Amino acid sequence: MPPNTAARLELEKRFRTSSELDAFILDYFPETWKLLSSQMNRLEKVNILLESNGAEKVLAEIQEASKKYLETLAQSSVSQEKTQSEHSGILLNIGSPRDKSRQYINVKMNNIVQQKK
């Protein structure tokens, strides 16, 4: 498979929305970001990204972005578990599965038990 094709497929797989692609380009290729306009479609942006940086560099940065994302998730998970163990309560997950930013509500069971007494 040609390198550009591999990079295009990986970009499509990792960054499904235009906003996610834009954020990736802004964060990892700020000089390329300056070449883009809001009037460009996704294909035009990907073409400029590949022309300006090469498929190998784009693929390497996708891997770096994925690694950082997983590290952030792991840190967030540890922080959540610590918070949950510090407070006797229930952690409810509210939001659709498609919504990446989930909202969490900590319900303190001790307060409920105290109110019933």
Q: Is 54 or 84 the better-scoring residue by pLDDT? A: 54
Residues 20-43 have a mean pLDDT of 96
Residues 65-74 have a mean pLDDT of 83
Residues 59-83 have a mean pLDDT of 79
- Nearest-CA neighbor of 15 among 38, 39, 49? 49
Residue ranges of domains in the chain: 3-85, 87-117
pLDDT of 79 reads: 63
The answer to whether 3 touches 55, Cβ cutoff 8 Å, is: yes
The answer to whether 46 touches 21, Cβ cutoff 8 Å, is: yes
The answer to whether 32 touches 48, Cβ cutoff 8 Å, is: yes
pLDDT of 83 reads: 58
CA distance 30 to 51: 14
Residue 113 clears pLDDT 90, i.e. is over it: no
